[in-house]
Structure 1
Amino acid sequence: MTNPLHQFINDNKELLEKGAVLTILLNDGYVTIFNEVDEKTNLQKTITLVDPCDTHFDCEIAHLIPTGG
């Protein structure tokens, strides 16, 4: 079984490669995912930032991940 966050990243790989910044709304914060070029290798890498405390997010741009609970 694939982790929902990993599946979301895989499903949106093309958007990330084009420079999109994806925001995932959680119950107690949010996750921001984007690609960045590694200065040493000059290759793209996926960055995932978790902010469990911030309650200021824009629901219009947030993507939702079903957690299946």
Structure 2
Amino acid sequence: MFIDSQEATLAPDAGVDVPALVPGWCVDVTTTQTCRTISQSLKIATVKVKEDSAGETVSVQLTPAGV
């Protein structure tokens, strides 16, 4: 099993520092939203920051670290 994500949005309380959001760096991702818990190291492909009246949203595109 592996995690495949074209775009993930970070929760406001995510334990990720903004300086760590650098394309090419790896982050460890765990999901519990599937029938079993999956953890995988993924490489950051792109980072998008959007700010509007509702606040700030940080979206990241992740790819498998081995690619």
Task: Give the structure with the higher percent helix.
Answer: 1
TM-score with structure 2 setting the length: 0.30
Identify the structure with bigger relative contact order (alpha carbons < 8 Å, sequence gap 6+): 2
Task: Give the structure with the higher percent strand.
Answer: 2
TM-score with structure 1 setting the length: 0.30
